[in-house]
Amino acid sequence: MKSLIDGSTTYTPPANGPYNPTREQLIEMGYRFGDENTPPLDDDKVRISAEWVDDDGVNGRWEVVDRPKAEVQAELQAARMATFPAQEAVIFRLTMRRNFGDNAETNRDIDAKAVENHFVGKQVNGTITVQELADASVLERLFAELKAWNGTDETWSLFENYGGLLP
């Protein structure tokens, strides 16, 4: 016996209600008979919902929605990719390569701190150009944006994983 209203599996009588309700009274109060245990979940599935519902006015049954994990993960990945900052990634890649050479965007040694140190060093030496000043500002902003989207404290893996999607 399980309540359709609150999911309880035992009847707790109210102060003014029947203390030993009959089967018919329990049914009237929203209780249904059946297997009270939630159906097992397969390892390769994700449970979306499990609800105890009325089957025939006397018995209850589980209405379960399970989906394959791979399907759910694919949908999450598609939603994430819909927010991919492609324009920013292209600008970042071009600016990194202009200042640090081919494939600089995937070089793990050229992180935000290394880029900052590079441009600060040029400023201190008095050898920085107007273009490099602009690039330093752009890269500072894009490092922050791309790291935030990537969900990490680096940008190189973003380009290793998604760089092939860029023009």
- Picking from 51, 72, 93, the residue at the C-terminal end of a domain is 72
Domain limit, last residue, from 38, 72, 106: 72
Q: How many domains does the chain have?
A: 2
**Which residue range(s) make up the domain with 55?**
2-72
The pLDDT assigned to 85 comes to 96
Asked, for residue 25, whether it belongs to a domain, the answer is: yes
17-58 pLDDT, tens digit per residue, is 767 888 998 899 899 999 989 999 999 999 999 999 999 999
Residues 58 and 91 reside in one and the same domain: no
Q: Are residues 42 and 94 in the same domain?
A: no
- Average pLDDT in the 112-126 region? 97
CB 43 within 8 A of CB 66: no
Distance CA 88, CA 77 (A): 19
The whole-angstrom distance between residue 39's C-alpha and the CA centroid of its chain comes to 26
| In a shared domain, residues 99 and 153 | yes
